Structure 1
C-alpha cells in the first residue's frame, strides 16, 4: 500500500468515526444544551443584589462511548471544552418576595477528537448557542435559600446538519430551574444544596428530530472555613432523559433506551466580597452511563463580583 493510499484511508476512517460520534450514531439520543456538573456548592442559592461577571471553563474529558446497557461501544480520546462567559445582575427589586435578576451566558466551544492509533486529530471551535435568563428569582428564609430561574437557549451557533462537527445544536430550548440551599447549624458552616434543571426542546434545524425533555439534578455538601470565605466539600449530579426523541431522524441505532449519566467528586470554592473576587474548582467522575459519553468533568469558576449595599426602606 502506498503512503498516499494509506493517508486517504486514514482520513476516511477519521471522518467515519467523527460522523458516528457527532451525527448521533453512537449516542442513541440527542444531547441538550445544559452541561452536566456545571454547578455545585451553593447552587440552590440566588446571588445577592449586585453585578457578576464570570469566566466558567468546563472540560469534559471523554474516554468512552456507552451503549444502551452501559456497555462500552468505543474507547476514545475526546475533549469537549466550553469557555462560558456569564453576566448576571441581581437587583433590589422584589417579585413575589424574591430578589429579581437576569443572566446571560455566551459559550465558546472547542471540540478536539484525537485518535492516537492514527496519529491525527480533528478540531472545531467557535461561539455556540446563547443562553438568556430573563427571570432569576432568589429568596432567603432563615437557614434556607431558594432559587427559581427561567431561561432559553437560542440557536446562534453555526449548525449544518450535513456536517459532523458543529458549534451549535441547531434548536431552541427552554430551561426551568428550581433549587434550595440549607445550613444545618446556627453558624451556617455545614451546608447542602440541590438544583434541578428541566430542558424542554424544540425541533432541530434541517432535520426531522425533536429531542425529548431532560432532567438534571445537581447536589452538594460542604463546610465553610476562613470566616465563610471558603466552602469545601463534594458535589455530584444525576442526568436522565425523560422521554424518547421524536422524528424520523431520531435514534439511528434503533435503541429506545433513554440516556442517563451520573457524576460525583470534590469541590473547592472561595469567595471574597471585599476583594470582589470568587474562585471555584470542581472535579467529577462520570459513572453508570448509558447511551452517552463517559469520562471526567473539570469545572472552574473565576468571578468578579460587585455586591450592592442593602437597600434602605
Structure 2
C-alpha cells in the first residue's frame, strides 16, 4: 500500500509506505549451526515497515530482493568458531508475495486477508574445516525454488493510530533437498508460525512497528534431525520527512528457544541454539501505485550462526 492509499483508507494516519509487510517464506540461508543447516524458514528482517497495517480490500503483489554476506561463523561462546576458517557465505533471494484482502467480509471487527509467498534462492558457501586428520576444504552452491508459504487467514484491526494483524502461516517443503549437499534451496521439513504484528503512529510523522512470531518446526525424516523452535521479532522506527519519503532504523532479534535434537539426543551438547540481533538504516518512498524501500541490517550478538550483513530491496504494487 502506498502512502496515498493508506491515507485514503485510514485518514487519521500519515505514513508514506506499505512495503514492509510479511513475506514469511523460505530458508534463505543454509549453513552449519543453529537449527539444521542453520537456516530459517522465515526470512528474518523482512517485516519491518508498517508491519501491523493490513492493506485495503483487493489484490496486492510484493516483491522482495535480499542479499546476505557473511565471513564469520560464530560458535556457542559468541566467538568465531575454531572448527572452520576462511568462511564465506553469499545468499541472494527473490520472493513474490500475493495477497488478497476480502471485500465486505469481517470477523470480530477485523478485515480478512489471505497470502502466499513464492521464493527463489541462489546460495554459495565455502570454508576450510579443521578435523583431527587435517584441514578439509568444503564448498557448495545451489539455485532454485525454495519452500513455499501459505497464510490462509490474517485478521487486521485498525483503531485510530493503532493497527494490528494476527495470523498463522505454514511453510511447505517444496524446495529441492539432498542430505549429501552442503547447501539446499529447501529445508525438507514443515513449519507452523503463529504471528502478531503491531504499528503505532503516535504523531503523524512517526511510526513504530514490530512483528513477533514463534516457529514450530517438524522433523526432517531424511536425517532424523529436529530443529528447535524459534522466536523472532522484526522491528522498525520511522520518520516521514515528506509526504512520500520516510527514513528510519529497522532490524530483527532472533533466538532459538528449544534444542536441536538428532536421534532423540541434544545436538553438540548445547542444542546448537542460535541467536542474533541486527539493526541498520532504512529509506522508503511511495506513490499511489508504487512503493519501494531499501534496508541495511548489520548483525551482532551472534551465537551458533554466521555473522554478516543483510540488504533488502522491497517493492509493492496493487493489481486487480
Q: Which bracket does the TM-score occupy, shorter chain normalised?
A: 0.7 to 0.9
Structure 1 spans left out of the alignment, 5+ residues = 1-20, 309-313
The residue matched to 1:150 in structure 2 has which SS?
Answer: strand
Higher radius of gyration, 1 or 2? 1
Partner of 1:81: 92
CA distance in 1, matches of 2:68, 2:30: 15
| TM norm structure 2 | 0.81
CA distance in 1, matches of 2:102, 2:199: 20
Partner of 2:70: 62
Query: Which of 28, 34, 47 in structure 1 is aligned with 2:42?
Result: 34
RMSD of aligned alpha carbons: 2.4
Q: What is the aligned residue count?
A: 279
Partner of 1:7: none
Partner of 2:108: 96
> What are the within-5 Å matches in structure 2 for residues 264-283 of structure 1?
264-273=279-288, 276-283=289-296
> What are the within-5 Å matches in structure 2 for residues 184-203 of structure 1?
184-185=202-203, 188-203=204-219
CA distance in 2, matches of 1:115, 1:23: 11
The residue matched to 1:72 in structure 2 has which SS?
Answer: coil
The residue matched to 1:139 in structure 2 has which SS?
Answer: strand
> What are the within-5 Å matches in structure 2 for residues 23-172 of structure 1?
24=32, 27-30=33-36, 31-73=39-81, 74-92=85-103, 93-113=105-125, 122-172=140-190
CA shift digits 1:2-32 (9 cap, x unpaired): xxxxxxxxxxxxxxxxxxx9674xx143333
The residue matched to 1:70 in structure 2 has which SS?
Answer: coil
1:205–1:82 distance in 2 versus 1, CA, 3 Å: farther
**Shift in Å, 1:223:** 1.1
1:80–1:249 distance in 2 versus 1, CA, 3 Å: farther
CA shift digits 1:162-212 (9 cap, x unpaired): 222211000011011101100112xx2111011101111111131211111
**Shift in Å, 1:252:** 5.1
Q: Are the counterparts in 2 of residues 209 and 250 from structure 1 also a CA contact under 8 Å? A: no
CA shift digits 1:46-85 (9 cap, x unpaired): 2222221122011211121100011101442211112111
CA shift digits 1:249-288 (9 cap, x unpaired): 8765343352100100011122212xx1110111000001
Query: Which of 282, 293, 301 in structure 1 is aligned with 2:306?
Result: 293
Partner of 2:21: none
Q: Are the counterparts in 1 of residues 61 and 97 from structure 2 also a CA contact under 8 Å? A: yes
Query: Which of 231, 251, 254 in structure 2 is aligned with 1:215?
Result: 231
1:243–1:252 distance in 2 versus 1, CA, 3 Å: closer
**Shift in Å, 1:115:** 6.3
The residue matched to 1:103 in structure 2 has which SS?
Answer: strand
**Shift in Å, 1:219:** 1.2
The residue matched to 1:282 in structure 2 has which SS?
Answer: strand
Q: Are the counterparts in 1 of residues 278 and 298 from structure 2 also a CA contact under 8 Å? A: yes
CA distance in 1, matches of 2:153, 2:107: 10
Compare 242-251 and 253-262 and name the one that shifted more.
Answer: 242-251
Structure with the largest fraction of helix: 1
1:211–1:225 distance in 2 versus 1, CA, 3 Å: same
Q: Are the counterparts in 1 of residues 31 and 125 from structure 2 also a CA contact under 8 Å? A: no
